[in-house]
Structure 1
Amino acid sequence: MLKVRTRDIYEKFSLELVAGEEGIDRPITTSDLSRPGIELAGFFDYYPAERIQLLGMTELSFFEQLSDEARITRMDELCTDITPAIIITRGLEVPQELIDAAERESVPILRTKFKTTRFSGNLTNFLESKLAPTTAVHGVLVDIYGVGVLITGKSGVGKSETALELVKRGHRLVADDCVEIRQEDQDTLVGTSPELIEHLLEIRGLGIINVMTLFGAGAVRTSKQITLNIDLELWDQDKQYDRLGLDEEKMKIIDSEVPKLTVPVRPGRNLAVIIEVAAMNFRLKRMGVNAAQQFTDRLSDVIHEKAIQDED
């Protein structure tokens, strides 16, 4: 599915359209940008035509030193049928040769007043966000003490009810039922809610409630990085559950892995409190405090000392 067109960056950054209006809906397929300095010198063997091209002070100053024939040839080669746009930075004057070539090939020529380095950074961040790999997961995403907790489990296990209790305890809901996830970096997963169900919770027996209306704007947020997965499952008396917290499971989402905890559900267990404490304990572990490991180390020391005493 097409995610970004040239029109999107034109509107996002309030750019000036100088030429090539017919190509304003061209697709943008990569977040990589190109500053075609070596191409203006005549080397087009590896020209990345599918990228947005940025022309700043350096490129245009060099271009002015070329002969009239070379100026026309370079701009003809710069404008291809797959080039999404050519952007002139610093509000510099657009060469007439570029305008003529862009009109022939319908390549949008845009202009911004920002400096090249600053604008390229902002544009790259925008494109990486829009072009990031995405997926959707059935679950609930809640911000608990700054930890993005993705609560998963089979339908009817109590995910939404647990999220409601967490919201009542002062935490913030990001998404219920369907969590849209995009991978913005190698190990950075950001979850959001589909626009249709944003701020809504479905509670069986009550129906759909609007969390922001009931609890205020501080009870919701639009997105959150996912750092912990808690999987709720019905209690299985034949299954051995981790009682120390030393086992480390992982949940793979797209190309990233998130720490996973499996919490059994049975009557009388306060899931909201358990998940809240799990988030706090996760923060402690990231700060270097691992209670389970400390207990294991102390136990090993006691056993070792006991063995020495027995030998004596």
Structure 2
Amino acid sequence: MPEMPEVQGLVDFLAGRATGRRISVARLGSIQALKTYDPPLEDLLGATVRGARRHGKWLDLVTDPMSGDGAAHLVFHLARAGWLRWYEELPKTQLRPGRSPIALRVGFDDGSGFDLTEAGTKKRLAVHLVRDPDAVPMVATLGPDPLDPAFTVEALASILAGRRTRLKGVLRDQSVLAGIGNAYSDEILHAARMSPYLLASALTDDDVGVLHEAIVAVLQRAVQAAAGRPAAELKDAKRAGMAVHGRAGEPCPVCGDTVAQVSFADSALQYCPSCQTGGKLLADRRMSRLLR
């Protein structure tokens, strides 16, 4: 799933490529991807792109005023298996709903454009056309952005105070902190040398400072690695920058211990036992059942 750094990379890429362009194509490839009906998607035709923004993991393509009612925002979430595919020359082939991975096609007056694609059978990619991004419920309820200057150590302490929830879950909760998902929560906890199962309420003041530093450092580094890259290279840049996420069975780059994994129904977390859990392996109930 694209997280804050990759989404920011896509935002920067779109802002550089699409700003000032007039939209000439706005066509659905998957009816279920579009979550709004007013204004209709056709209202984008002829609109000029004014820029791109990010709200957590949501991308926001901002266009000029629509029917005198303010700017139109094409707000979309790529979900687990979605991506943005950019073309310097948009394909001329007709979309066949239900027959391809393309959820939405947007084209511009210079012939360029992009497809929003989604692999797999679980279709969760979401597209909203709204006059205000806060009209999207999951945008309106986002927590603070960890790279906002207002996200201080004190702000994090206030968020964590009394919260009897595992740190892994806290970091992934978009209503608590916006933009962090499974991958970067693994990386942040590894950098902070903290167990993903540690309760947020158990952190001392010093621990909160360490966690805050890890959050900001890991995300800033990843955003910098994504900066200036074309959309097609962002996934590889993300994978290359991971210390533990997606690297179960490989040596930890810090201590050399073997990176371990806990599997869940539809996801998994990775961690270093030596760096994060005092050498102890975390219980993996799903794997334990398989070994019986």
TM-score (norm 2): 0.26
Q: Which one has more relative contact order, counting CA pairs under 8 Å at least 6 apart?
A: 2
